[in-house]
Structure 1
Amino acid sequence: MKFAYRFSNLLGAVYRQGNLNFSKDGNAVISPVGNRVSVFDLKNNTSETLPISTTKNITCVGVSPDGSLAIVVDEDGAALLVSLITRAVLHHFHFHKPVSSIRFSPDGRKFVVTKENVALLYHAPGKQREFNAFVLDKSYYGPYDETTCIDWTDDSKCFVVGSKDMSTWVFGAERWANLIYYSLGGHKDIIVGCFFEKDSLDLYTVSQDGALCVWKSDTKLDGLVLKKSSDKPGPWRREGDEEEEDEERVEGEEAEVIRGKTEPPKDKKEVKNVRYKHRSKHFFNKEGEFNNLTAAAYHKPTHILVTGFASGIFHLHELPEFNLIHSLSISDQRIASVAVNSSGDWIAFGCSRMGQLLVWEWQSESYVFKQQGHFNNMASLAYSPDGQYIVTGGDDGKVKVWNTNSGLCFVTFTEHTSSITNVTFTSSGFVIVSASLDGTVRAYDLHRYRNFRTFTSPRPAQFSSLAVDVSGELVSAGAQDSFEIFLWSMQTGRLLEVLGGHEGPVSSLCFSPVQSILASASWDRTVRLWDMLDSWQVKETLPLTSDGLCVTYRPDGQELAVATLNGEISFWSPQTATQTGSITGRHDLETGRKETDKITAKQSAKGKSFTALCYSADGESILAGGHSKFVCIYNVKEQMLLKKFEISCNLSFDAMEEFLDRRKMTEFGSLALVDEGAGDGEVVDISLPGVRRGDMSSRHFKPEIRVSSLRFSPTGRSWAATTTEGLLVYSLDGSLVFDPYDLDLDVTPASIRKQVRLQDWVSAIVLAFRLNENALKQEVLEAVPHEQIPVVCGSLPDVYVEKLLGFVASCLEKSSHLQFYMTWAQNLLMLHGQKLKNRSASILPTLQSLQKSIQRHFDSLSKLCDFNMFNIRYAVALSKQKGLKRPMKEEEEPDEETSEEMSEASLEESDMML
């Protein structure tokens, strides 16, 4: 139970590729993020990443009309049927080929999948449990090239498919006598979008060269005639028979196959086929040669067409007149996906190159939501002292601050001009310090969101490590080129001292939590302890067996952990300068083999090591990660592996598999090493040995999976890791784990509710905590009268005080009954403070969680109160001004004191209302 950490959220990665979808109510955006799916709630301003993952990056997501199901398909065609309500995987399926698009019918009974040049019609999974949730109904062949887009009619009778061969095909979902298939031309480039008009067979098609074709149908939706069962072809009918010469349908065991032809179908007896007429053609303003139309979406009720371009511009047009409503540039990068919500007010745009997702309200011309992840890899992270915020630094030179509750970034600092190597919070929690390869260390104020201090060295240096002491006064940074450590004063910004002595790059710095001692690890195979009080002299030098990569103190300052290049973690006593233990963790890393490696993964693992270390809150275990997809938790005292977490199963990353796939091996070697170019001038792009990041402009670039930084939350309830995938957060999810305490046959929900009716509050609380169901505990707690809380807290058994305090802390985080739960917390701490003090080590995470909840409510309420107070003062001042303009009699004129009393009374009244 202690290490039952589960995947909680993915931060820092917003949008990579694939299509965007809105939820049924239009208040949430469903976006693919690598091999996971994130749901961004626009009303509550929160984000949640579903605890599901595919084996490769997701290319398309289809959401059912009722918003309860989603079909997620990755690059290889492997699909997952996911419940958006329970967040669980219901079914696995494989389409065996890459899928370009997927779309549910409006009635939710069927869905169409397009792969290569085929459109496959499936029966949608129903409410009941099924052995096979995906049942193929029909296969439609018509286009000669890959299919790109799908749309359905409002009554789910027909669907249209666009293709790269510049044609658009209309197919009947049922066996219609007058509409088997219909092919439309008129374009000179790839079809990007095809859309039916509301309650009609009329069509709009949009191509990549910026052309819009409007098609008019001579038949209404209710004019479609169902084919008689007697007309159904039997197994004896051959292709080319007179009656079926315009279609070929092969009725097999699995599904019916329909093959369309470019010639128009011949009219049958007494049935006139559906005909389309080219009504008009419009062109978008083309501002450049390479400004292709890349994405399109159509909102049927409002007749608004949204188009995105490769230059970052998007247009809003009203159809069928093609009136331009709105045009704006959101960036200078290609818009990869566009979606419109159900009401037509919000438009979501995804930009894959920038990792940007934004939602635009076109009527008010304002952003509803705007998030962008780090452009390159994340390099470092740090938790704030209250655990409410996480700061990350990336190779793109940006420092981002994330809210752990909402999962969203609320401020980005862009002052650095090169890669960030390390970030940290000061002990106050309101100052962030970052070190960079651009030769500066910068301090940011979270009150005013500005860079208020910039620390530099006398000679230009690339800072690779950073540490701030407990008081927040001393800032230290280690250089990787001059082998020196620089010390600055936070108060004045002056350089205090330059510490020399290391004979290699300084890889890591860490201040002791209890003393003014700085530990520095270096590639010269030493860890040095510097005394900040005694003229900054070296107090001790700890010899290592290999290059030092990372150093960290235990929370009580009584132990030091060092990760070295040979894959070991050694533990030292800072007081005696002696080694107390070591862990050989090279085999636990289980590194994978890169596609371009000439050696096996087993041989490659000999050069791997841990690069990130972090102690748990109680100091009994240590978290370690490195150039691997695994994060390990070790017990320090026993020096043994407790648990391993696989942070990613995404095969789109390099170094994920231990063995190479033999199907990728050719007579010339691995496919990754074979030139895919068409001409002799093409060069094979193979990275140099030791290059981890690679060239981002490389055509064959495949990021390598690794963990660059690890941190435990101050509350101990979660830990976070910066990886190639993004910022992963793992937490203890108590709601999913049933852990009863001292349970017997008498402890039932009925007996607990009976005690509540008898108003025996203490017995009811004790029984509820023994059963340990959160809903029942909350029900009992909120049934206790407000005035009885001190009496109940005073008579509560000691063993349940800590449990109740932890539950109150968790309830306070989400509940709106602030005063009620604050009263519980206050009485528990006042009446049992001395007993809790004796168990300070075990109670510390609970207290920190309580402090985090109180601080968050304090911040939000104080902003609301200030806003209301200023509004009331403004209203009082305005009324005074109007009163002065109005002529008054002497007896009506209020004196100054009376007006102040009135304003104070109004303020008190507003506070009472709050």
Structure 2
Amino acid sequence: MKFAYRFSNLLGTVYRRGNLNFTCDGNSVISPVGNRVTVFDLKNNKSDTLPLAMSFNVKCMGLSPDGRLAIIVDEGGAALLVSLACRSVLHHFHFKGSVHSVSFSPDGRKFVVTKGNIAQMYHAPGKKREFNAFVLDKTYFGPYDETTCIDWTDDSRCFVVGSKDMSTWVFGAERWDNLIYYALGGHKDAIVACFFESNSLDLYSISQDGALCVWQCDTPPEGLRLKAPTGWKADLLQREQEEEEDERQTTIRGKATVAEEERKGKVKYLRLAKYFFNKEGDFNNLTSAAYHKKVHLLVTGFASGNFHLHELPEFNLIHSLSISDQKISSIAINSSGDWIAFGCSGLGQLLVWEWQSESYVLKQQGHFNSMVSLAYSPDGQYIVTGGDDGKVKVWNTLSGFCFITFTEHSSGVTGVTFTATGYVIVSSSMDGTVRAFDLHRYRNFRTFTSPRPTQFSCVAVDSSGEIVSAGAQDSFEIFVWSMQTGRLLDVLSGHEGPISGLCFNPTKSVLASASWDRTVRLWDMFDSWRAKETLTLTSDALAVTFRPDGAQLAVATLSSQIIFWDPESAVQTGSIEGRHDLKTGRKELDKISAKHSAKGKAFTTLCYSADGQCILAGGMSRFVCLYHVREQILVKRFELSCNLSLDAMEEFLNRRKMTEFGNLALIDQDAGEDGVAIPLPGVRKGDMSSRHFKPEIRVSSLRFSPTGRCWAATSTEGLLIFSLDDRMLFDPYELDTSVTPGRVREVLRQGEFTRAILMAFRLNERTLMQEALEAVPWAEIEVVSASLPELYVEKLLEFLASSFEGCRHLEFYLIWTQKLLTQHGQKLKPRAGQLLPTVQFLQKGVQRHLEDVAKLCDWNRYNIQYALAVSRQRGVKRTLEAPGAEEEDSLHLIRGSEDEGEEAMLA
């Protein structure tokens, strides 16, 4: 239970590649982020990543018409059937090839995938349990090149497929007699999208060169007739028809034969018009399109970042706007036609735009390059991240959205941290500045610089928030500034190598600095800035951190060791050998095995848990290790990613890439767009000028939440959050056969509230605990809380802290919290260290409600002041228009009562 951390959410990455989808109600966007899928709830302002992971990056998704099921396909052709209602995987399947698109029929009975130059139609999984959820119905041939897009008619009778061979193919979903397939030309480039008109076989086809063809069909959907069956079915049908024909009259038979001859003609298409988007020559490539059949709205995106809104079939231009200078990879329109979602893979950007009011509903973008560092706010509500793109972003842990981005840095950010108050963020950068940002006014209010230009590799702020220090990468010095004045207080010299880490003691004014010169130095901030101690190591120091109580120091070295020191006596208290626990993978271009490659890898980031008993460690690997400090053993190893689209994921070479000349990745140097380019020697993050770039998996920073219930890691995939998800976990304690839910409710009816609460907490079922707690009358809370044993007080505080985030009975739970803390505070003081995460979790929930209520009160106060000012102005105006003695007296009385009312309201 204590170490049952599970993947909770993915922040910092909102879109990678693939197609966007709106849910049926139109309030949420489903976006593929690497090998995972995130649902952005636009109505409730929340993001939630589904607890599933593909083997490669997600390439396409298909959503069922009722919105309950989704088919997610990755680059390797592996597919997952996912239930969006219960957020679980129902079925695994492999399409044996790369799939470009997948689409459900409007009736939900079938779905079509485009694979290579063919289209395959499957029976969609129903609500009943099936042995095989995906049953292949038909395979459609026709295009000579790769198929690109699919669209269905409203009655699910036909579907259309576009191809890179500049042709569009209409296929019948059933065995129609007058429509088997129909090929349409008229384009000079690959087909990007094709759409049927509402309740019609008329369709539109759009090509990459910006051409739109309007096709008209001479047959309505009702005119499609089933093909006559053959074999024993035909004989049976013929007998039935002969019996019916004997009963018909000759005149009716004659009319029927004439009508049948008229209907025997095949379905034909006629091109009505051809329009061009790039008449001015501004846009060279059309990359994506979406069409809403009810509103007749066509949205097209281009490689230049522009998008157009047209009304069809007249092709009237409604809007022409630009998002960025990167191509628009995917477009989706919600069910009502009001919101349009755009995805840009080059920037990792996701936008939801309301085109009628011309306003953004959602505008989110992750770091353009990889994240480097992160820090939790003291109350655990916010996470700040810094990236190689020079941006500092602040994320809300509850909603999962970034609400402010600071772009003052001109180079990569190397370190970020919060002050003790939680309202100031300090960041260091390679541009030679350390900046302080105010979260009240969202501005950069302090900029700290050194006398001569230098690159800062790390930053730290003391517990009071008055002293800011940063380590230099090139001059091997530590610079210390005053937060109040912004002046440089001192320059600490003594290290003979780049500074790799800084950390202040949480309880004292002692700064620990780690360096590549194989030493860790302790500096006393109040004793003339002198080096108090020098801890000598056997290898280069890569990271340093203090335990939350300041009584222990942990250092990660280049030899894959974690060494623990007593900062008071400067004595080593223990060490952990983590070489075999890191488990690095083999890169695609490595000529040595992963086992030999692991000898040069080490932990680069450390973080103590909230209670100080465990320590998290991560580095150039997809694994994060959790160690028990006192026992010095590996407690658990967390795998951050299973995405094979990233480099250094596999332990052994893939046999399919081995040829008689060696590794295919090493041979194919001068390949085209799909070849693997050899990066420059010594380049760790990839040569950005290369055609093909495969990012390497690594963990750059780790932090535990102050509440202790979750921890976050910045990796190549984004900001991953692991939390103690105990929603589906049944963990009873001190349980016997007499404790049952029925017995708890019976005791509640008898009015024995203390006993009922104890029994509910023994069962540890959240709904039962909430029922027992809320059954207590508010007047008896003080008596019941005083009679609770000490063990149950701690568990009740944890329950209250977790209930604050989504509860409606705010005052009721606040009364419970107040009574528990006032009556049991003295007894819990000796265990303050163990209770610290629970208290901080409690503070986080109360603080969030405080901010919400404070904003509401301020808003009401300003409204009341405005209403009083307006009433005064009207009273003065009436006095000037009709001044009379009696009226003046009455106005004075009214003003006096208004002033008294205003004073009472403000008080």
Tell me, yes or no, whether TM beats 0.5.
Answer: yes
Structure 2 CA distance for partners of 1:625 and 1:232, relative to 1, 3 Å: farther
Match of 1:171 in 2: 171
Q: Which residue identity is paired with 1:842?
A: Q
Deviations 1:524-569 (A, max 9, x none): 1100111111110011111000011001111111111111111111
1:462 is matched with which residue? 455
CA contact (8 A) 1:167 1:185 kept: yes
- 1:2-21 alignment runs, 5 A limit: 2-21=2-21
Tell me the alpha carbon deviations over residues 629-660 of structure 1, each in whole angstroms, 9 at most, x when there is no partner. 10001111111111100100000111111111
TM-score, structure 2 length as denominator? Answer: 0.94
Compute the displacement of 1:834 (Å): 1.2
Give the drift of 1:77: 0.5
Structure 1 residue corresponding to 2:545, chosen from 552, 555, 558 = 552
Q: Is the contact between residue 153 and residue 159 of structure 1 (CA under 8 Å) also seen in structure 2?
A: yes
Between 1:743-752 and 1:355-364, the stretch displaced more is 743-752
Which residue does 1:183 correspond to in 2? 183
Per the alignment, residue 327 of structure 2 pairs with 334
Aligned to 1:262: none
**Identity across the alignment (%):** 71
Question: For the Cα contact (< 8 Å) 2:194–2:204, is it kept in 1?
Answer: yes
Q: What letter is aligned with 1:816?
A: R
Aligned equivalents of 1:451, 1:594: Cα separation in 2:
41
Q: Which residue of structure 2 aligns with residue 482 of structure 1?
A: 475
Q: Map 1:563-712; keep pairs closer than 5 Å.
A: 563-675=556-668, 677=670, 685-712=677-704
In the alignment, the residues of structure 1 paired with residue 263 and residue 154 of structure 2 have an alpha-carbon distance, to the nearest angstrom, of 27
Q: Cα gap change, 1:684/1:205 in structure 2, threshold over 3 Å: closer, same or farther? A: closer
In 1, Cα distance between equivalents of 2:779 and 2:107: 54
The alpha carbon displacement at 1:906 in A equals 5.8
26-35 or 783-792, which moves further after superposition? 783-792
Give the partner amino acid of 1:372: Q
Q: Which residues in structure 2 correspond to 1:185-334 (within 5 Å)?
A: 185-230=185-230, 271-288=264-281, 291-334=284-327
Matched letter for residue 491 of structure 1: Q
Q: Which runs of no fewer than 5 residues in structure 1 stay unpaired?
A: 235-266, 909-914
Find the residue that maps to 1:13 and give its secondary structure.
coil
For 2:390 and 2:327, locate their aligned partners in 1 and report how far apart those are by CA, in whole Å. Answer: 22
Q: Tell me by how many angstroms 1:684 deviates.
A: 7.6
1: distance between equivalents of 2:628 and 2:432? Answer: 38
- The 3 A distance-change label for structure 1 pair 113 and 233 is farther
Contact 2:14-2:350 at 8 Å conserved across structures: yes
Instruction: Report the 3-state secondary structure (helix = DSSP H, G, I; strand = E; otherwise coil) of the residue aligned with 1:120.
Output: strand
CA contact 2:680–2:687 (8 Å) conserved in 1 = no
For residues 721 and 286 of structure 1, the distance between their equivalents in structure 2, rounded to whole angstroms, comes to: 49
Q: How far apart, in 2, do the equivalents of 1:885 and 1:441 lie?
A: 57
Counterparts of 1:351-390 in structure 2, within 5 Å, are 351-390=344-383
Distance of 1:725 and 1:584 partners within structure 2: 27
1:320 CA displacement: 0.6
Separation (CA, whole Å) in 1 of partners of 2:359 and 2:591: 53
Change (3 A) 1:342 1:683: closer
Q: Give the one of 842, 846, 856 matched to 2:848.
A: 856
Which residue identity is paired with 1:375? F
Q: Is the 8 A contact 2:349 2:364 kept in 1?
A: yes
Distance in 2 between the 1:897 and 1:393 partners?
57
1:894 has 2:886 as partner: no
Corresponding residue for 1:532?
Answer: 525
Match in the other structure for 2:51: 51
Q: Quickly say closer, same or farther: Cα 1:232–1:350, change in 2 above 3 A.
A: farther
Q: How does 1:841-880 map to 2 (within 5 A)?
A: 841-880=833-872
- Paired residue for 2:492? 499
How many Å separate the matches in 1 of 2:95 and 2:130?
A: 19
Deviations 1:409-428 (A, max 9, x none): 00000000001100000001
- The one of 735, 738, 741 equivalent to 1:749 is 741
Structure 2: distance between partners of 1:317 and 1:87: 37
Give secondary structure in 2 for the equivalent of 1:391.
Answer: strand
State the match for 1:98 in structure 2: 98
- Where 1:881 maps in the other structure, the secondary structure is helix
Q: Which whole-Å CA distance do the structure 1 matches of 2:343 and 2:728 have between them?
A: 33
Structure 1 833/277 Cα, relative in aligned 2: closer, same or farther at 3 Å? same
Change in Cα spacing, 1:269 to 1:288, as seen in structure 2 (3 Å) is closer
SS of equivalent residue, structure 1 residue 510: strand
8 Å Cα contact 1:712/1:718 also seen in 2: yes
TM-score using structure 1 length: 0.94
Letter in 2 for 1:62: G
CA shift for structure 1 position 837: 1.7
Does structure 1 conserve the Cα–Cα contact (< 8 Å) formed by 2:283 and 2:302?
no
Q: Is the 2:679–2:690 contact (alpha carbons within 8 Å) kept by the matching residues of 1?
A: no
Q: Does 1:885 align with 2:877?
A: yes
CA distance in 2, matches of 1:179, 1:275: 9
Q: 1:527 to 1:288 in 2, by over 3 A?
A: farther
- 1 CA distance for matches of 2:901 and 2:691? 72
Moved more, 368-377 or 741-750: 741-750
- Segment drifting more, 206-215 vs 24-33: 206-215
Q: Is the 8 A contact 1:192 1:206 kept in 2?
A: yes
* Residue identity in the other structure for 2:857: C
Letter in structure 1 aligned against 2:495: H
Q: Distance in 1 between matches of 2:420 and 2:483?
A: 13
Aligned to 1:155: 155
- Aligned partners of 1:209 and 1:684: how far apart in 2? 28
Aligned-pair CA distance for 1:751: 1.2
Q: Structure 1 pair 270/490, CA: closer, same or farther in 2 (3 Å)?
A: closer
Residues 289 and 873 from structure 1, CA distance in 2 versus in 1: closer, same or farther, beyond 3 angstroms? closer
For the residue of structure 2 that corresponds to 1:893, the secondary structure is: helix
Structure-2 residue corresponding to 1:237: none
Q: Is 1:408 aligned with 2:401?
A: yes
Aligned residues: 875
Secondary structure of 1:862's partner? helix
Q: 2:783 aligned with 1:791, yes or no?
A: yes
User: Within 5 Å, which residues of 2 pair with 1:811-826?
Assistant: 811-826=803-818
Q: CA deviation at 1:883?
A: 2.3
- How much has 1:228 moved relative to structure 2? 2.4
One-letter amino acid of the structure 2 residue matched with residue 426 of structure 1: T
1:277-326 per-position Cα deviation (integer Å, ceiling 9, x unaligned): 11111111355466311110001111101111111111111111111111
Instruction: Indicate how the Cα distance of structure 1 residues 287 and 386 shifts in structure 2: closer, same or farther if over 3 A, else same.
Output: farther
The CA distance in 2 between the partners of 1:426 and 1:568, in whole Å, is 30
Name the CA distance, whole Å, in 1 between partners of 2:343 and 2:442.
27
The Cα of 1:270 is off from its aligned counterpart by 5.7
Q: Secondary structure at the match of 1:475?
A: strand
User: What's the RMSD between the two structures over aligned residues?
Assistant: 1.8
| Post-superposition offset of 1:879 | 2.1
For 1:250, the equivalent position in structure 2 comes to none
> Per the alignment, in what secondary structure is the counterpart of residue 727 of structure 2?
helix
2:670·2:677 contact (CA, 8 Å) conserved in 1?
no
Answer whether contact 2:747 2:756 (CA < 8 A) is retained. Answer: yes
Structure 2 segments unaligned to the other structure (5+ residues): 235-259
Corresponding residue of 1:136: 136
- 1:691 Cα offset (Å): 2.2
Structure 1 stretch 666-675 or stretch 763-772: which is displaced more?
666-675
Tell me the residue number matched to 2:244.
none
C-alpha separation between the residues in 2 aligned to 1:765 and 1:683?
A: 65
Change beyond 3 A, Cα 1:661–1:758: same
Aligned-partner Cα distance in 1 for 2:681–2:483: 40
Q: Distance in 2 between matches of 1:530 and 1:799?
A: 41
CA distance in 1, matches of 2:680, 2:540: 22
Q: Distance in 2 between matches of 1:161 and 1:378?
A: 40
Separation (CA, whole Å) in 2 of partners of 1:880 and 1:517: 60
